[in-house]
């Protein structure tokens, strides 16, 4: 499932505000926020696909933010 940069920001808000008692969720939220802001500062819009934009930003169109994906997966599994 692909998210827009805006949706990543919304997830960051949830992790930083609602799930702040979980150290892992808080770290995920900080990373989501930092990465989304970076993309916005680089000229991507809030409605661009996050993974595609991140890959373009990093210079490798086939790659995505692996560390963030791993952290998001841990949150989804309830390990956060």
pLDDT band at 20 (very low <50, low <70, confident <90, very high): confident
Q: Which residues contact 76 (CB under 8 A, 6 or more apart)?
A: none
- What does the DSSP 8-state code read for residue 49? B
Q: How many CB atoms lie within 10 A of CB 58?
A: 11
Q: Check residue 48 and give its pLDDT.
A: 95
Q: Is 0.85 surpassed by the pTM of this model?
A: no
Average pLDDT (26-31) is 94
Measured distance CA(56)–CA(44) in Å, rounded: 10
Residue matched to tokens 């996050």: 50
Cα dihedral 56, 12, 31, 1 in deg (nearest 10): -40
Average pLDDT (52-61) is 85
């Amino acid at each position: 499932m692909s998210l827009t940069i805006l949706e990543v920001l919304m997830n960051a808000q949830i992790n930083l505000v609602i799930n702040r008692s979980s150290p892992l969720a808080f770290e995920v939220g900080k990373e989501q926020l930092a990465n989304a802001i970076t993309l916005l500062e680089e000229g991507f819009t809030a409605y661009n696909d996050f993974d595609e934009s991140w890959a373009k930003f990093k210079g490798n169109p086939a790659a995505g933010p692996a560390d963030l994906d791993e952290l998001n997966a841990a949150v989804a599994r309830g390990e956060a």
